[in-house]
Amino acid sequence: MNCFFEPRAIALVGASSDETKLGGIILKNLLQFKGKVYPVNPKYSEIMGLKAYPSAADIPEKCDLAIIMRPAPEVPVVLRGLQGRTGCAVIMSSGFAEIGEDKLQEEVKKISAESGIRILGPNCMGIYNPSQRLDTFFLPHERLKRPKRGNVGIVSQSGAILSCLLGAARTSRTGVSKVVGYGNAMDIDESELYEYLAEDKDTDIVVSYIESVADGRRFLEKAKILSGKKALLILKSGKGESGRAAAFSHTGRLAGRYEVFHSLLRRFNIREAMDFDGLMDAAKALSYQRPGRGNRVCIITNGGGSGVLAADECMRQGLEAATLPGHAKEKLGQVFPHFYGINNPVDLTAQVRDDDYATALEELRDDYDGFLIIALPNVMGITEGLAEKLKASMQSLSKPLVCHIAEGAIAGRLTRLIERARIPVYSSPERAVRALKALLE
């Protein structure tokens, strides 16, 4: 798999000089790549400042990786031409099994087996590995800015969802390690990618979007191994149609229903997200913080109603917003104004000061398994200084801590400052609770 994620030299078959064409977008993105890039196109001697080659056979060295962006019917010929010239290929072209062209895909599969060339795709987005500045996606940067480098690996069957996940990761300031869109999974599938990411030192969390699984037993085996070492978050789509649902049985690849998939994940303690936002919210939480144990949650808020909504969501998520211990009631009752609510949620009211959060966290840190800070920044007592206070509290806490910041003029800046301290921030009380739940599973 190293040839896919950390190649030294890449051949791009179907390179174009036209930046609006897919082969041009990919080449432009590959110009940033740390290693060598060889554009293949018989019509040009040079493209985007790189020497171009009429065919892969003309490239002066063997390549670790070939990227194929030619119309589907040409792919078998292209692949045969790569025999002996590369060990790995990403077939980005669509027009195979996904539109009923099974025979064409079978032919490609046969060539792959005969030539020993491992295939990612066809009909896929390929690889993004920021540590190598490797980016095979046919999405222009001016349309989709890439997320920063981080510890989240993304494995997506769908290219569309992959692009959405990248956009959401960037917006939520969640960094990525290795990103791969594997498309039709003709050869390399999610199981093999899980195996690779389980050993990848840059990756702590794996986010996986799945539409169908060919070999259910192998999938479960690799998912179990991966989730034993790292946090694995799965979003399964096609829940409604049994025909599209994953194939599962103990004997191989019988068609199965989503409910079976769901219950197997539960049984093996593999995290499953229920929707797109839930997937990215959990990924962010796990990317920012270490998971903890237990289900006792303390909510500290300056908005009573927001605290109650959070407590409701705790109940739905199986988290317990347990009552405050006696020592804390007494101590906080002494230091806080009499109109503060010394319960769980701790209600610091509209008269809140930044310091109050730190005071409450300090007193309660040993009594709960996880903490939710809610700050409505539309009162003057909440300032950007809250980020420093939370950062300091966080350091002595070493338990999961997440934050909900409501809309307000300073919300954007405050969120960025708090997230710099590795405390994930969410835009609603319920989303914050669901993220905390992901840290306590």
Residues 207-246 that bind its own copies (CB under 8 A): 209, 211, 235, 237-241, 244
Strand segments, DSSP code E, in 290-440 are: 297-301, 341-342, 346-347, 370-375, 401-405, 425-426
Asked if 430 interacts with its own copies (CB under 8 A), we say yes
Residue 82 or residue 414: which is nearer to its own copies going by CB? 414
Return the exposure string of 334-369: e unless at least 16 CB atoms fall within 10 Å of the residue's CB, then b.
eebeeebebebbbbbbeebbbebbbbbbebbbeebb
Residue 31 or residue 315: which is nearer to its own copies going by CB? 315
Number of neighbours of residue 268 by Cβ within 10 angstroms: 13
Residue 116 or residue 409: which is nearer to its own copies going by CB? 409
- CA-nearest of 51, 50, 56 to 74 is 56
Whether the CB-CB separation of 323 and 344 falls below 8 Å is answered with: yes
**Of these, 44, 304, 388, 441, which contacts its own copies (CB under 8 A)?**
304
Residue 48 or residue 410: which is nearer to its own copies going by CB? 410
Give the C-alpha separation, 209 to 256, whole Å.
Answer: 18
**Of these, 6, 132, 408, 441, which contacts its own copies (CB under 8 A)?**
408
Q: How far is the CB of 139 from its own copies (least distance, A)?
A: 5
Give the C-alpha separation, 395 to 392, whole Å.
Answer: 5
Q: How far is the CB of 407 from its own copies (least distance, A)?
A: 3
Torsion of CA 64, 66, 67, 72, to 10 degrees: -150
Q: How far is the CB of 377 from its own copies (least distance, A)?
A: 7
- Subset of residues 244 to 303 that bind its own copies, contact rule: CB under 8 A: 244, 275-277, 301-303
Q: What are phi and psi of 299, to 5 degrees?
A: -110, 125
Asked if 438 interacts with its own copies (CB under 8 A), we say no
Number of residues that this document lists for the chain: 441
**Of these, 32, 132, 410, 441, which contacts its own copies (CB under 8 A)?**
410
CA of residue 211 relative to chain centroid, distance = 16
- Residue 402: CB partners within 8 Å, gap ≥ 6? 285, 289, 370, 371, 372, 373, 423, 424, 425, 426, 432, 435, 436, 439
Residue 82 or residue 168: which is nearer to its own copies going by CB? 168
Would you list the DSSP string of 291-329? -----BEEEEES-HHHHHHHHHHHHHTT-B-PPPPHHHH
From 29-37, 39-47, 62-70, 337-345, span contacting its own copies (CB under 8 A): 337-345
Residue 86 or residue 105: which is nearer to its own copies going by CB? 105
Give the C-alpha separation, 224 to 218, whole Å.
Answer: 10
**Of these, 105, 115, 156, 203, which contacts its own copies (CB under 8 A)?**
156
- Subset of residues 62 to 101 that bind its own copies, contact rule: CB under 8 A: 94-95, 99
**Of these, 64, 189, 202, 313, which contacts its own copies (CB under 8 A)?**
313
Q: How far is the CB of 87 from its own copies (least distance, A)?
A: 28
Asked if 406 interacts with its own copies (CB under 8 A), we say yes
Asked if 161 interacts with its own copies (CB under 8 A), we say yes
- Residue 428: CB partners within 8 Å, gap ≥ 6? 309, 404
- Subset of residues 375 to 404 that bind its own copies, contact rule: CB under 8 A: 376-380
Residue 41 or residue 93: which is nearer to its own copies going by CB? 93
Q: What are phi and psi of 21, to 5 degrees?
A: -90, 155
Asked if 139 interacts with its own copies (CB under 8 A), we say yes
**Of these, 91, 429, 435, 440, which contacts its own copies (CB under 8 A)?**
429
Q: Binding residues for its own copies, how many (CB under 8 A)?
A: 71
Asked if 20 interacts with its own copies (CB under 8 A), we say yes
Residue 267 or residue 409: which is nearer to its own copies going by CB? 409
Residue 86 or residue 317: which is nearer to its own copies going by CB? 317
Give the C-alpha separation, 343 to 180, whole Å.
Answer: 46
Query: What is the Rg, in whole angstroms, of the alpha carbon atoms belonging to the chain?
Result: 25
- Residue 379: CB partners within 8 Å, gap ≥ 6? 302, 350, 351, 352
- Subset of residues 25 to 64 that bind its own copies, contact rule: CB under 8 A: none
Asked if 17 interacts with its own copies (CB under 8 A), we say no
**Of these, 3, 48, 50, 164, which contacts its own copies (CB under 8 A)?**
164
- Which residues share a beta bridge with 320? 296
Q: How far is the CB of 164 from its own copies (least distance, A)?
A: 4
From 128-136, 155-163, 263-271, 292-300, span contacting its own copies (CB under 8 A): 155-163
Strands lying side by side in the sheet with 271-272 = 134-135, 126-129, 176-181, 149-156, 205-210, 231-236, 271-272
- Subset of residues 349 to 378 that bind its own copies, contact rule: CB under 8 A: 349-350, 376-378
